[in-house]
Structure 1
Amino acid sequence: MTNTFLSAVKNRRSYYGISNEQVISEQQIQEIVEEAVKHSPSSFNSQSARVVLLFNEQSNKFWDLTTETLRGIVGDDEKFQATAQKMASFRSGSGTVLFFEDSAVVEGLQKQFPSYADNFPIWSGHSSGMLQFVVWTALEQEGLGATLQHYNPIVDAAVAKEWNVPESWKLVAQMPFGKPTAEPGEKQFQPIEERVKVFK
């Protein structure tokens, strides 16, 4: 395959083993995220994506509050062990990207284009998914490993309070990243002919 974009798409994986050892500078990571936010597509060019980028202790703080929130839900220490290990693996990275969608933008579009009102929240999700994928793939191209996590809405209130997030920003996903310390598992594929229909 000579298409470098598709090669990057193919190589993107979920890395659960990560460390906080620096691979590229925090400034470079910030630039990647900013470029992704600026250039990822959105319906009606709404640009509804919002991001909070957490490094080091700020990232640790996110995973600590997530851990405590989950501990309060699970309760039983024995049952919580697997969850605690997963939280520790995310915390061991060098940062976390928090992805949001601005509901005020979505609601504004619903009022402006009432015929499409039911679709704007769906399209907002599509836009966010594309941004998440762009950031994930771009980080991996620079030698970082990442995964996509979803601990919203149970952490939404704590996140909004801790980082002074505007009320209209709705948390969609979380992406811990760091230097890979373990290879990802083997990727499994369903038969492509069952997933793609071609008519000529």
Structure 2
Amino acid sequence: MNNDVLNNLKQRRSIYALGKNVKQSDQEIVELIESIIENSPSSFNSQSTRAIILFGDKHDQLWDIVAKRLKSEVPTEAAYQKTLEKINSFKAAYGTVMMFTDMDVIKNLEDNFPLYKDNFYDWSEQAIGNASLAFWTALATNNIGMNMQHYNPIIDDEVRAAFDVPANWRLRAQMPFGSIEAPAGDKDFMDRADRFRVLGD
């Protein structure tokens, strides 16, 4: 049994100690992410996943937006300072991939295939998950760490204005990436007997 894919998946971890010491060029990173998203599966080949890849000042701008927006959400100054430390760890990364779903694509599918209308948004979430896992893993095999954050929907309006995001793109995740400054900790797994069933001969 070839275990190359499994071994690559094992390298994909949520890395929170990220830095800017990335060896690859911005263009190499962009090409990898774009190509993987293009080749990731989606229901009806809908290709509903969208991405904006941020570097440099644009990357910093995103996390400044998050920090400013959370100021009004956190109850105390002490709590905000703790939150700010977390946000600054994402800002310390090299770049960020913002993941979106094109809601016009979903609406079109709902109109054209009414039998499956209630499923298309769920399937778009699967598509965005497929793409995210794939390029997250690919970056990990290139010694680039990443984690996934979800400050949507509270930052949606600010992000849309700052980065000229089309109104039909719905923000789903923010994925900071960069050099791995410290490895992820140990990962626990639940008992397989509680998680899987194998039936048949």
Aligned length in residues:
200
Partner residue in 2 for 1:98: 98
Offset of residue 22 of structure 1: 2.2
Offset of residue 11 of structure 1: 1.7
Which residue identity does 2:147 align to in structure 1? T
CA distance in 1, matches of 2:151, 2:38: 25
CA distance in 1, matches of 2:81, 2:142: 33
- Structure 2: stretches of 5+ with no match in the other structure: none
Q: Does the aligned pair in 2 maintain the 1:23–1:143 contact within 8 Å? A: no
Partner residue in 2 for 1:26: 26
Partner residue in 2 for 1:144: 144
Partner residue in 1 for 2:43: 43
Partner residue in 2 for 1:126: 126
What is the root-mean-square deviation in Å for CA atoms of aligned residues?
1.0
CA distance in 1, matches of 2:75, 2:67: 11
- Structure 1: stretches of 5+ with no match in the other structure: none
CA distance in 1, matches of 2:110, 2:137: 31
Partner residue in 2 for 1:190: 190
Offset of residue 75 of structure 1: 4.7
C-alpha offsets along residues 126-153 of structure 1, whole Å, 9 cap, x if unaligned? 1111111111111111110100110000
CA distance in 2, matches of 1:42, 1:195: 25
Q: Does the aligned pair in 1 maintain the 2:101–2:169 contact within 8 Å? A: yes
Q: Does the aligned pair in 2 maintain the 1:19–1:179 contact within 8 Å? A: yes
TM-score under structure 2 length normalisation: 0.97
CA distance in 1, matches of 2:164, 2:190: 43
Partner residue in 2 for 1:81: 81
Offset of residue 76 of structure 1: 2.0
Could you list the runs of 4 or more consecutive aligned residues of structure 1 that deviate by over 4 angstroms after TM superposition?
none
